[in-house]
Amino acid sequence: MLSSRTSLAAAADLLWPATCAGCGRAATSWCRACAAALARPPAPTALADGTPLHAAAAHAGTARSLLLAVKEAGRAEVRPVAAAALAAALGAARPGGPVVLVPVPSRAASRRRRGDDLVADLAARTAQLRRRGGAPTRVARVLALRRRVADQTDLDADGRRRNLAGALRVLGPPPRGPCVVLDDVVTTTATAGEAVRALRHAGADVVAVVCLTCAEATLGEGSQPPGG
């Protein structure tokens, strides 16, 4: 009985979300205070290769709670909030003109757990919002894992780089036009860096990386002068 009651409660939460995904406040899925907090994106930074990295928010507080809600708790009703934040970050990275969004592929285990590819779905929603704003935007799901990679959670920056080196490849011809790599969270930049490398190796024109949240340490590194 317990399990059916639990799933009923989960279904009710989807239909009538009980709490704000950012702060836990009752009676709304996303409150005004959290919306205001998410409307102040951090200064952009850059990957080690110089590719601009635009995060919608630092991986802390409200934004971190939002990420965990869509990524771990399966709260699909707040995916539009995440997509709107991504669209704003994309607008800062690329104010006008055509863009090809290239989502970082999820590991097969994550796709099975969530029932779909979260980042690809966020890319589709983000592209739709940008098109509504008049900018030609399409999604190209061309990145694929070349081999199995370990779960990154317990790996440090060097471990992540080694884990991912050469792990991604581009399926088919590279997308034409300015490409923006899209991911949900950037921690050490190992994944984003590998995505950019694979796309450039295939001949794509990568102009930026956009993510929902980015580790504060990584955002801080980018504000230092090169070599510092």
Q: Which is nearer to Zn ion, 84 or 143 (CB)?
A: 84
Q: With CB under 5 A, what is the number of residues at the site for Zn ion? A: 6
Closest distance to Zn ion from the beta carbon of 71 (Å):
17
Q: Which one of 31-39, 123-131, 139-147, 199-207 is the stretch in contact with Zn ion (CB under 5 A)?
A: 31-39
Q: Which is nearer to Zn ion, 63 or 119 (CB)?
A: 63
Angle at 63 between CA 209 and CA 84, to 5 degrees: 60
Closest distance to Zn ion from the beta carbon of 23 (Å):
3
By CB under 5 A, name the one of 19, 23, 46, 124 that touches Zn ion.
Answer: 23
Q: Which is nearer to Zn ion, 31 or 58 (CB)?
A: 31
Helix H segments across the chain?
2-15, 32-38, 61-71, 79-93, 108-114, 118-132, 157-164, 190-201, 216-222
Establish if 86 lies at the interface with Zn ion (CB under 5 A): no
Assess contact for 122 and 160: CB atoms under 8 A.
no
Q: Which is nearer to Zn ion, 19 or 128 (CB)?
A: 19
149: left (phi over 0), alpha (psi -120 to 50) or beta: beta
Whole-angstrom Cα distance, residue 91 to residue 86? 8
Whole-angstrom Cα distance, residue 66 to residue 55? 14
By CB under 5 A, name the one of 17, 29, 34, 199 that touches Zn ion.
Answer: 34
- 185: β partners: 213
Q: Which is nearer to Zn ion, 61 or 178 (CB)?
A: 61
Q: Which is nearer to Zn ion, 34 or 99 (CB)?
A: 34
Q: Which one of 24-32, 44-52, 79-87, 147-155 is the stretch in contact with Zn ion (CB under 5 A)?
A: 24-32
Assess contact for 51 and 209: CB atoms under 8 A.
yes
Closest distance to Zn ion from the beta carbon of 29 (Å):
9
Q: Which of residues 190-209 bind Zn ion (CB under 5 A)?
A: none
Strands laid side by side in the 45-46 sheet = 45-46, 52-58, 205-214, 178-186, 99-103, 137-139
By CB under 5 A, name the one of 20, 82, 87, 168 that touches Zn ion.
Answer: 20
By CB under 5 A, name the one of 22, 41, 42, 222 that touches Zn ion.
Answer: 22
Among residues 96, 64, 77, 21, the alpha carbon closest in space to that of 211 is found at: 64
Q: Which one of 26-34, 133-141, 142-150, 171-179 is the stretch in contact with Zn ion (CB under 5 A)?
A: 26-34
Assess contact for 71 and 107: CB atoms under 8 A.
no
- Under the rule (CB under 5 A), what is the footprint of Zn ion? 20, 22-23, 25, 31, 34
